[in-house]
Chains A and B, each alone.
Chain A
Amino acid sequence: MHIVVLAKAVPNTTGVERFEPDRSLDRVAAEPILNPNDEYALELALRLAEIDPGIMITMLTMGPETSWPGLTKGLAVGAQAGVLVSDPALAGACALSTARVLAAALDGMEYDLVLAGSDTSDGKAGVIGAAVAALLDIPFITHAGELTLRDGAVEGRRTRDDGYEVLAAPLPALVTVTQEVGEMRYPTLRGIMGSRSRMPVALSLDDIGLSAADVGGAVATTLVVDVDPPAPRPPARVVSGDAAEVADEVVRFLVDRRFIP
């Protein structure tokens, strides 16, 4: 059984980000990390591989060269292979282009189950999983917190505000996961040493049978028109000291703002 985990390098939200004059993200300034939801997807794959040692895990990323550290981290925690689709023509790619690239790369691989985070912390649109599944014409389940493999099918537990539902799809299928899976394990020293012999593979658009006429910045379906920098916020009023006096101040504030009578 082969699981492919879709993983994106995203700007670290606690890092320093900025836009270039052409309104594209300055990805050098934005220190990339592995998208947190994709880490949960990888963690889930690793747990499934603990149950069934016959499971092989490959990470698949589309992005610039700065995506390498995320892939090597994935290999260090236990993925067997990493693939980076990178091409200058992909700069400025829209969500649909991204889905097309991932689907084309998957088409060239053996896979039974595709896992991904339910969204990425930078784009946050959460549409890539469903788009990739639709392009591959395979069933999908999104927002799963738990996953079971049984009799050639995958069962995902999808959280609702008032409970949950269990959905089942025959393999091959695509499932997106949430933080309910739990944090990804840390790489061990042994894992890091062992992964050094398994370098991620780089593919160009040509390698996956696409060209700049199919995907990427030149044929993007969406474009950024302009960007507003953050507006400064007036500083907060700070009250401290005796708890009863602080409580009085808070209540007075809530009364002034008419939240309580």
Chain B
Amino acid sequence: MSGEIWIIGDLDEERLRPSSAGVATLARQVADVGGLGVEGIVLGARPAGAAAELAAYVPHVLSVSIGPDDGYLSPTALARALADLVHERGPRYVVVAATPGGKELAGALSASTGWGVLGNAVDIGWDDGPIVHTLVFRDDTRVRSAFTSGHGIVTVQPNITSPIALDAPGLVETLAVADARTGARVRRLELVRGDAPPSVESARVIVAGGAGVGSAEAWTVVEQLAEALHGAVGSSRPPVDRHWVPYSQQVGQTGKTVRPDLYVALGISGEVQHRVGMRMARTVVSVNSDPAAPIGGFADLVAVGDLHEIVPAIIERIRRAEGGAA
């Protein structure tokens, strides 16, 4: 009975996405409390590398290679292969990161197994089954939900658990299954990858700008402070809509959910749509000309004034201190 709880590795091409390590750690802890076995599942055209990565966190990993080794596997193909495995091997619960790929898999698997799905968990407890914690409304209300049968699928918000590797890596079992692409019908015509800007999802420090930054030219002040604090650049929605910064950096309801130690908000009013993406930040500093901006309601420090005067002065002081220390 090695695998009653399955943790599905979420892959970026052939690599394991970093978020899967934290999700695996949480699933392992839940399995310990519930007295169940945990097993990692990695599905792909070439799963071996990612399976080895996941085995750092899970004592047993099933590395499932699907069909001919020729690249793109649609989510439908992955979900079908996973559903077949679920039917054959009979796990009780499936856990996956709440990334775009993880959500696709969870939805399609729910449809083919008839199991319930609870999305965007921020924690998982145990009471004769997983108790899944999610945040609703302004993300300030915590809801605990359970499955009504002994089966279910949970997607877990990336970054809510720090990864803890096992003392010794787990065993990897390999399995080849038939091509699930037949009938899956989605093809990839193009893949364009550039240098990804530092990810806001894994950043310890985020400096984010909002409409109050003013213009594309003025946006450099956000980047400079991020650089001075060794952090990633984040954004509320308006700068993304105005093309000052790519969508990948957007924090909020329709963007990323982040959990940094420090979140510096420059010219961000703090509407609920933004707040839900950054409410888990440990420390929040706001620089805003409007002392009544809603962000004051959930910040630790509010600096009131013109960010174009205050922020360069902060950068200068940080650089001076670092120069003095060097």
Q: Which residues of A contact B74 (CB under 8 A)?
A: 139, 167
Residues of B within 8 A of A180 (CB): 247
Please tell me if A186 contacts chain B, counting CB pairs below 8 Å. Answer: no
Residue in B142, B185, B316 whose CB lies within 8 Å of A228:
B142
Q: Does B87 contact A (CB under 8 A)?
A: no
Binary contact track B292-313/A, C-beta < 8 Å → 1, others 0: 0000111111111110011101
Q: How far is the CB of B307 from chain A (nearest CB, A)?
A: 9
- Contact check: which of B79, B185, B304 meets A130 at CB < 8 Å? B79
Interfacial chain B residues near A142, Cβ < 8 Å: 75, 100, 103-104
Tell whether A257 is near chain B: CB-to-CB under 8 Å: yes
- A197 part of interface (Cβ distance < 8 Å): no
Does B119 reach chain A (CB closer than 8 Å)?
yes
Judge if B168 is at the interface, Cβ distance under 8 Å. Answer: no
Flag A154-189 by CB within 8 Å of B: 1 or 0 each.
010011111111111110000000111010000000
In the complex, whether A236 has a CB less than 8 A from a CB of chain B is yes
B148 surroundings in chain A (CB, below 8 A): 220-223
B54 to chain A, nearest CB (A): 20
The answer to the question of A143 belonging to the interface, with a C-beta cut-off of 8 Å to chain B, is yes
Instruction: Report Cα–Cα, A128/B131, bound state, in Å.
Output: 21
- Name which residue of chain A comes closest to B115, CB basis: A221
In the complex, the chain B residue whose C-beta lies closest to that of A180 is: B247
Which A residue's beta carbon lies closest to that of B17?
A161
Q: Which residues of A contact B313 (CB under 8 A)?
A: 243-244, 246-247
Chain A 204-255 interface residues, beta-carbon cutoff 8 Å to B: 220-231, 233, 236-241, 243-244, 246-251, 253-254
- A125 in contact with B155 (CB, 8 Å): yes
| Contacting pair A246 B195 (CB below 8 A) | no
B29 interface residue per 8 A CB criterion = no
B314 within 8 A of A: yes
Known A-B contacts A134-B112, A170-B185, A247-B313; the reply to A224 vs B107 at CB < 8 A is no
- Chain B residues 243-276 with CB under 8 Å of chain A are 247-248, 253-254, 261-262, 271-273, 276
Q: Are A134's CB and B261's CB within 8 A?
A: no
Q: Mark B112-136, 1 if CB is under 8 A from A, else 0.
A: 1011111110000001000100001
Q: How far is the CA of A257 from the CA of B311 in the complex (A)?
A: 18
Residue of A nearest to B79 (CB): A134
* CB atoms of B205 and A161 under 8 A apart: no
* A63 interfacial contact with B, CB 8 Å: no
A selection of 6 A-B contacts at a CB cut-off of 8 Å is A160-B193, A162-B194, A164-B190, A224-B144, A230-B140, A254-B318
13 extra A-B contacts, CB within 8 A, seeds A125-B98, A133-B108, A167-B189? A17-B137, A166-B190, A167-B188, A178-B254, A221-B114, A227-B141, A231-B140, A237-B302, A247-B317, A250-B287, A250-B303, A254-B318, A259-B262
